């Protein structure tokens, strides 16, 4: 949860060209601005995935949770559940 005046940092893996980075950055900012409080700055940070193991872990965790929510497939949750604190769907029920 953010409050007015906060800065929200969104870290994403590098996507290749500068044009693709800008398109991705604009999309993230649009979603954040449409679903969050006003008067908050959104900073998108691009990191090369191969240099940050944390991005790879976060991506795997998000993928495993998505499979569980959308398909009912829990076979990859073994790596996520020991540290998963909550799971919510801010835009409604998974389809």
Each residue's pLDDT tens digit, 50-93: 777 777 788 888 889 888 888 899 999 998 888 888 777 766 66
The number of beta carbons lying within 10 Å of the beta carbon of residue 34 is: 7
Q: What are the structure tokens assigned to 85, written together?
A: 């604190």
Interval 4-21 mean pLDDT: 76
Q: Report the mean per-residue pLDDT for the chain.
A: 78
- pTM here is 0.50
């Amino acid at each position: 949860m953010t409050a007015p005046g906060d800065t929200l940092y969104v870290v994403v893996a590098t996507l290749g060209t500068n044009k693709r980075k800008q398109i991705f950055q604009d999309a993230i900012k649009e979603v954040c601005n449409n679903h969050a409080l006003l008067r908050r700055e959104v900073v998108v940070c691009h990191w090369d995935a191969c240099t940050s193991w944390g991005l790879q872990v976060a991506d795997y965790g998000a993928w495993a949770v998505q499979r569980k929510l959308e398909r009912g497939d829990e076979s990859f949750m073994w790596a996520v559940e020991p540290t998963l604190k909550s799971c919510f769907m801010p835009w409604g029920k998974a389809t």
